[in-house]
Amino acid sequence: MSGLRGRAAIVGVADAVSPTGELEGSVRALEVAMIREALDDAGLAISDVDAVFSNLSAGWAPAMELAEYLGLAPQWVDSTQTGGSSFEIHVEHAAAAIALGLCEVAVIVYAATPRSSFKRGGGGYASRGAMPGPTPGAEWELPYGMRAPMGAYALAASRHMHEFGTTSEQLAQIAVDTRRWAAQNPRARLQELITVDDVLASPFEASPLHKLDCCLVTDGAGAVVLTSAERARSLRKPPALVLGTGTCTTHSMISEMPDLTTTGAAVSGPLAFAAAGLTPADVDVVQIYDSFTITVLLLLEDLGFCPKGEGGGFVADGVLAPGGALPANTTGGGLAYTHPGMFGIFLLVEAVRQLRGECGPRQVAGAEVALAHGSGGVLSAMSTVILGTEATA
């Protein structure tokens, strides 16, 4: 069990989404709004912040530039960029820094407006464009028709189907269950219930993945605030203690993934559970990156919720849906809630809200342990965070 267990806590959260998929304001304005809201949620002020985590900016040093904009002189800045898992890694780094006394109050923030940008004539989020610069992927994958990013996930899905007999119907059930959660969330982009047949009838994006197997493209923003467990107990909301974390990166290009059916979550998950002194059976609610339905299936296996190769059967009967044995992606996830390009911050926000009992009709009764797992790149960078209430300390 890690010596860091329970020494830091998430004490403030905020996110901004819209059923239209669009938000008003610049990325910087959204970042500032989220920081203010998350600090207010915690009962803290901007003057309390001495660590800034941000990985998205037009400049070369996002966290430093944001700190300057906020008028801060932080003791710790971190611009780690691993795509959708960045924010789980930020929690890991912040919790370690707090435990070591290197900072006391850390803010992690993300905002992006690809949908609004595209409608205003900007680049938005393109899946067919060339990768910027002379990257290995631009040289060795895109010329052969690899559609990014869905082509990479289609390869993983095809391989899983070949090796284990997983079916499109089983993947579709993940989208159906996620939409059932979204139907209980008035902030979700897509709230209409769907069926397995609806998923299979939607057009292919990259075979075997259909449109409804794929995440949204929306605007979105979010922030989380961490401090020491000791200080957390005197703040406004019940703390979500950081019980365990783990990270593993395995590749950058999908063609270099060691095994298309096994991700780095097979390392990050056990690391986090060992640090927390828990097992998958102890988890009450899961917030798991759902860029595509195959992402969810692979991560459930690799995190230990079911054996490798048995994910299709595991999800087939609605285990992830409201009332299921493993409530997952209770906002509606990246498939139906929001997905501005990197979804990891929203996993953390919802995990904390579930532990506080703040989720209204989608609340998981008695939730005391929540897992948030981010996936970055093309199944490339995995990071797992296990959070708990004071009852789990």
- Cα separation, 175 vs 162, whole angstroms: 21
Look at residue 306 and tell me whether its pLDDT is greater than 70: yes
The secondary element (H helix, E strand) that includes residue 221 is: strand 220-228
Q: How far apart are CA 290 and CA 202, in angstroms?
A: 18
Q: What is the rounded CA–CA span in Å between residue 30 and residue 15? A: 10
What is the residue extent of each domain of the chain? 8-119+215-392
Residue 123 confidence (pLDDT) above 70: no
Integer Cα distance of 194 and 78 in angstroms: 40
Residues 6+ apart with CB under 8 A from 112: 27, 56, 219, 220, 221, 340, 341, 342
**Does 131 have pLDDT greater than 50?**
no
Dump pLDDT digits (tens) for 32-84: 999 999 999 999 999 999 999 999 876 789 999 999 999 999 999 999 999 99
Mean pLDDT of 319-333: 98
Q: Which class for 129: exposed (0-12), middle (13-18), buried (19 or more C-beta within 10 A)?
A: exposed
pLDDT at residue 221 in the model: 98
289 in active site: yes
pLDDT band at 133 (very low <50, low <70, confident <90, very high): low
Q: What is the pLDDT of residue 130?
A: 41
* Tokens encoding 299: 């991560």
* pLDDT at position 3: 83
Residues 18-36: pLDDT tens digits?
A: 999 999 999 999 999 999 9
Architecture of domain 8-119+215-392: 3-Layer(aba) Sandwich (3.40)
* pLDDT greater at residue 133 or residue 274: 274
Tokens of 56: 């998205």
Q: Is the pLDDT of residue 138 over 90?
A: no
Token pair recorded at residue 317: 């009967």
Give me Rg for the CA atoms of the chain. Answer: 19
How confident is residue 118, by pLDDT bands cut at 50, 70 and 90? low
- Would you tell me how many other CB atoms lie within 10 Å of the CB of residue 24? 11
More confident residue, 131 or 326: 326
Does residue 128 surpass a pLDDT of 70? no
- Across the range 318-344, mean pLDDT stands at 98
Q: Indicate the helix (H) or strand (E) that contains 159.
A: helix 150-164
Mean pLDDT of the chain: 94
Catalytically annotated residue among 125, 144, 153, 289: 289
Q: What is the mean pLDDT of residues 96-100?
A: 97
Asked if 84 and 342 touch (Cβ cutoff 8 Å), the reply is yes
Predicted TM-score of the model (pTM): 0.96
Tokens read off for 16: 């901004």
Would you say residue 161 has pLDDT above 90?
yes
Residue 165 reports pLDDT greater than 90: yes
CB-side neighbour CA atoms (13 Å) of 51: 24
- 337 among known catalytic residues: yes
Q: Residue 281: is its pLDDT beyond 70?
A: yes
Distance between start and end Cα atoms, the chain: 12
- Return the percentage of the chain with pLDDT > 90, whole number: 88
Does the structure show a pLDDT above 80 at 291? yes
How far is it, in rounded angstroms, from Cα 78 to Cα 113?
22
Q: How many CA atoms lie within 13 A of 27 on its CB side?
A: 18
Question: Cis peptide before 149, with omega less than 30 degrees from 0?
Answer: yes
Identity of residue 91: V
